[in-house]
């Protein structure tokens, strides 16, 4: 080829300067029309006026973790991280005995390890349930104590982040099987079962969580036989389970509805019984579809645990609020709420990113 054709190739020209590089990016993304240019300038002006004072408050003028409230009150130009420095352990662990606070810390680590491991799809096997059971047993031993030389700690002393995680994770774990039954019941052919499940789900979804917490805290003692009493934490946990079961049932129903009718018919054609059909054919597919909405339910559920403050439990928000009621630290609400806001945010944001990633991964099989 090269022998026959003499090609005098012109050297490749660089693209026009206004289509590459940062200038072009600015032109196409910030100044592509006159109103976008105005908007960009307005937003920039807003950011310039808002960000430096905020950074100044947050870092530059702030007092360190060892500052005292007297110092902070005299020079109130910046954040007072001394509040977090002094109250950190109370906010994180509540009234758990001071010398034993490595136990709730370890509990948090166990939960985070379990949650992170559960995110990996290679672990989605039946044996992983045993890992969870072992982890929860470890948590129970750590929190209650009373064995292996650990001192016994009443659960009225639990608080802070471990309480938030326990309420949401245990609530989810117990509500999950219940919600599967509810979702199956709602799709059932048996009218009585269907009516019961629909009534339960719609009743719970129609009322706010607070009213369920109220019910658990003021009505549950009346429901039980005389002499039987349930402590506050368990009552809140029951309300959460009832609440979560209804919402998760709806997420699972969405998954069940997405399964083509042919799958049911094929299972029937093979002569499988109802439970065999559900366990081996329908649920594995439906649950895979339902996982992203289930994770979203879990996120809102995690945020909703903050409501236990209303019935007098000290979760992460409760301990922060209690720390603020200390007369010497009254008024440092920005620091307190920013600190726990960031903790909640890290949990919820990572879960929502995970749910988005999972949705993409799971959709890959359906797309062609």
Partner 1 sequence: MATETRTTQGAPPPGGVSISLSDPTFRAIVYQILVVGAVVLVGWFLISNTLDNLARRSIATGYDFLGREAAFGIGESMIDYSPKDSYGRAFLVGVLNTLKVSVIGILLATIIGTVIGVARLSSNWLIAKLASTYVEIIRNIPPLLQLFFWYALVSDGLPAVRQALNPIPGVFLSQRGLRVPVLEPHPVWANMGIALLVGIVAAWGVSRWARARQARTGQPFPAGWAGLGLIIGLPILTWIAGGAPMALDMPKLAGFNFSGGASISPEFFAILTGLTLYTAAFIAEVVRSGIKAVNWGQTEAARALGLPSGPTLRLVVLPQALRVIVPPLTSQYLNLMKNSSLALAIGYPDLVSIANTTLNQTGQAIEGVTMIMGTYLVISLSISIFMNWYNKRIALVER
Task: Give residues in contact with partner 1 (CB under 8 A).
Answer: 29-30, 32, 36, 39-40, 43-44, 177-178, 181-182, 185, 189-193, 196-197, 199-200, 203-211, 214-215, 218-219, 221-226, 238, 242, 245, 273-275, 299, 303-304, 306-307, 309-310, 317, 321, 331, 333-334, 337, 340-341, 344-345, 348-349, 352
CB 230 within 8 A of CB 224: yes
Nearest to 348 by CA among 168, 84, 178: 168
DSSP secondary structure string, 135-147? Answer: HHHHHHHHHH--S
Q: How far is the CB of 321 from partner 1 (least distance, A)?
A: 7
Whichever of 94 and 135 has its CB closer to partner 1, that residue is 94
Whichever of 257 and 273 has its CB closer to partner 1, that residue is 273
Whichever of 5 and 228 has its CB closer to partner 1, that residue is 228
Distance (Å, whole) CA 63 – CA 72:
7
Q: How far is the CB of 145 from partner 1 (least distance, A)?
A: 30
Q: How far is the CB of 160 from partner 1 (least distance, A)?
A: 14
Q: What is the DSSP letter of 278?
A: I
Whichever of 285 and 296 has its CB closer to partner 1, that residue is 296
- 3-class secondary-structure state, position 214: helix
Distance (Å, whole) CA 288 – CA 306:
29
Whichever of 68 and 352 has its CB closer to partner 1, that residue is 352
Whichever of 19 and 199 has its CB closer to partner 1, that residue is 199
Q: How far is the CB of 40 from partner 1 (least distance, A)?
A: 6
Report phi then psi at 315, rounded to 5.
-85, -165
Per-residue tokens: 200: 């339960």
Angle between helices 82-93 and 333-366 (to 10 degrees): 60
Angle between helices 160-186 and 316-324 (to 10 degrees): 140
Q: How far is the CB of 297 from partner 1 (least distance, A)?
A: 12
Q: How far is the CB of 14 from partner 1 (least distance, A)?
A: 24
CB 200 within 8 A of CB 182: yes
Q: What residues pair up with 136 in beta bridges, in sequence order?
A: none
Q: How far is the CB of 277 from partner 1 (least distance, A)?
A: 11
Whichever of 79 and 242 has its CB closer to partner 1, that residue is 242
Distance (Å, whole) CA 79 – CA 68:
12
Whichever of 106 and 115 has its CB closer to partner 1, that residue is 115
Q: How far is the CB of 57 from partner 1 (least distance, A)?
A: 13
Per-residue tokens: 193: 């079962």
Q: What residues pair up with 80 in beta bridges, in sequence order?
A: 63
What is the length of the chain?
368
Count the neighbouring beta carbons within 10 Å of the beta carbon of residue 22: 7
């Amino acid at each position: 080829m090269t022998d026959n054709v003499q090609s005098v190739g012109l050297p490749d020209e660089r693209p026009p300067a206004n289509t590459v590089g940062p200038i072009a990016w600015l032109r196409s993304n910030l100044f592509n029309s006159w109103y976008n240019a105005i908007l960009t300038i307005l937003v920039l002006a807003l950011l310039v006026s808002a960000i430096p004072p905020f950074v100044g408050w947050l870092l530059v003028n702030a007092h360190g973790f060892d500052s005292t409230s007297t110092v902070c009150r005299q020079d109130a130009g910046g954040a007072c991280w001394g509040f977090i420095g002094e109250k950190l352990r109370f906010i994180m662990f509540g009234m758990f005995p001071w010398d034993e606070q490595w136990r709730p810390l370890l509990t948090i680590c166990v939960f985070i390890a379990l949650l992170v491991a559960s995110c990996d799809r290679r672990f989605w096997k039946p044996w992983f349930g045993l890992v969870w059971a072992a982890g929860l047993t470890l948590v129970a031993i750590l929190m209650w104590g009373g064995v292996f030389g650990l001192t016994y700690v009443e659960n009225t002393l639990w608080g802070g982040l471990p309480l938030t995680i326990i309420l949401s994770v245990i609530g989810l774990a117990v509500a999950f099987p219940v919600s599967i039954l509810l979702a199956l019941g709602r799709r059932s052919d048996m009218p009585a079962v269907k009516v019961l499940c629909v009534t339960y789900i719609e009743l719970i979804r129609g009322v706010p969580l607070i009213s369920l917490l109220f019910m658990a805290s003021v009505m549950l003692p009346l429901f039980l036989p005389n002499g039987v009493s349930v402590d506050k934490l368990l009552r809140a946990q029951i309300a959460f389970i009832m609440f979560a079961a209804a919402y998760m049932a709806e997420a699972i129903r969405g998954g069940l509805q997405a399964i083509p009718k042919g799958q049911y018919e094929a299972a029937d054609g093979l002569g499988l019984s109802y439970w065999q059909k559900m366990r081996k054919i329908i649920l594995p597919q439906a649950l895979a579809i339902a996982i992203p909405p289930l994770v979203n339910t879990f996120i809102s559920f995690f945020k909703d645990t903050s409501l236990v403050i209303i019935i007098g439990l000290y979760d992460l928000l409760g301990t922060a609020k209690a720390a603020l009621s200390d007369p010497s630290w009254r008024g440092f609400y920005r620091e307190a709420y920013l600190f726990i806001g960031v903790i909640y945010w890290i949990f919820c944001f990572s879960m929502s990113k995970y749910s988005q990633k999972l949705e993409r991964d799971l959709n890959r099989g359906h797309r062609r």
